[in-house]
Amino acid sequence: MRRTKVALKGPLSPSQKSAGPFQKSVGVYLRQEFELFASVRPAKLYPGATTLFTAPLDVVVIRENTEDLYMGFEFEANRRETDVVLEAMQKASGRRLKPGYGLSVKPISKEASRRIADFAFDYAARMGRKRVTAVHKANLMKATDGLFLQAAKEVSKEYPQIAFDDKLIDSACMQLVTQPSQFDVIVTTNLYGDILSDLTVGIAGGLATAPAANVGEKAAIFETLHGPAMKSKGKNTANPTAMILAGTLMLRHLGERDAADRLENAVAAVLGQRGGQDSRTLGPNQMADAVLAAIQ
């Protein structure tokens, strides 16, 4: 990966025998090692997909990967170090907090916010997308989400060809369910991005057709949102669709737009022909053969 700066990674789970940096999560280790600050999660409703929704959906959620509540600055209730933090907060804010609170700190920086916003607008421009929507809760969390929104607005002025708007996280969730076609590219913070990407994938029919990418200046990793299907091992029943579509993301990243379109169109054709019952009736090997035949 250091040599090629790109990888197509299958779903991995930690092994009890693993040691060192891989013991907890290979994915987390790789994101940290290569500083993959942008999570890119497309959700597209393909013809024939099994879903409750009929409105068209083709949205990409771009999530800041390094900050927010997931940084792990947590303090358990009724511990000495938590009381120290609470006391400092009370002195700084002038507001008194009763004992017994647990704390999760939400760090958001202007630098990382501008970086993810610039990535989202550049992605939209390169991929022929028309609109970027910043999702936040800046009406209440002015010091953090307000900072993120300000950075997104500043970056939007550098891309006059891309339309820009912003929505509160609760409103965005509702509108994704009721009017999903209005969204194109969504840029947001770490926690909201985690939630929104699962929501959009659910609208599109589930994890079976959900590719993902983690991108930074040093490398890019393309993978699936789902984990390893260990129950399907050796049974020829695992669904390969998301993994194949992860390949289309990698091809586009490498500038192979025509090849990516051919591959994605082939997947869509097979899903449409099978009524969405891809590898559940075909099996992964047969699904791959069907996609190859559609390409040809």
Helices (H) and strands (E) counted in the chain, each on its own, are: 10, 10
The pLDDT, as a whole number, for residue 275 is 54
Q: How far is CA 161 from CA 131, 166, 290, in A?
A: 9, 17, 39
Whether 46 is catalytic = no
Catalytic residue among 118, 145, 166, 194: 194
Whether 194 is catalytic = yes
Name the residue type at position 142.
Answer: K
Whether 101 is catalytic = no
Check if the beta carbon of residue 1 is closer than 8 Å to that of residue 27.
no
The pTM for the full model equals 0.88
Catalytic residue among 70, 101, 122, 159: 70
Greatest Cα-to-Cα distance within the chain, rounded to the nearest angstrom: 69
The pLDDT, as a whole number, for residue 176 is 95
Structure tokens at 32: 């940290």
Catalytic residue among 68, 118, 123, 137: 137
- As a 3-state breakdown, the chain gives helix, strand, coil percent values, each rounded to 5, of 45, 15, 40
Domain boundaries, the chain: 72-107
Nearest to 213, CA basis, from 129, 291, 137, 120:
120
The pLDDT, as a whole number, for residue 278 is 46
The pLDDT, as a whole number, for residue 291 is 92
Catalytic residue among 170, 218, 261, 289: 170
Nearest to 134, CA basis, from 117, 118, 122, 147:
117
Burial class (CB in 10 A: 0-12, 13-18, 19+), 161: exposed
CA distance 171 to 282: 40
Name the residue type at position 46.
Answer: Y
CA distance 106 to 24: 23
Catalytic residue among 58, 122, 184, 198: 198
| H helical segments located in the chain | 26-33, 80-93, 110-126, 145-156, 169-178, 190-203, 241-253, 257-273, 278-282, 284-295
The pLDDT, as a whole number, for residue 19 is 57
Strands 74-75 and 6-8: unpaired
CA of residue 88 relative to chain centroid, distance: 35
CA of residue 235 relative to chain centroid, distance: 30
* Token pair 């820009």 in the structure block, residue: 164
The pLDDT, as a whole number, for residue 279 is 43
Whether 198 is catalytic = yes
| pLDDT per residue of the chain (296 residues) written in tens, 0 to 9 | 899 999 999 887 765 555 565 555 777 788 888 999 999 999 998 877 777 777 788 999 999 999 999 888 889 998 999 989 988 988 898 888 887 889 999 999 999 999 999 999 999 999 999 999 999 999 999 999 999 999 999 999 999 999 999 999 999 999 999 999 999 999 999 999 999 999 999 988 888 889 999 999 989 999 998 877 778 788 877 888 899 999 999 999 999 999 999 999 999 998 888 654 444 567 788 888 999 999 99
The pLDDT, as a whole number, for residue 251 is 96
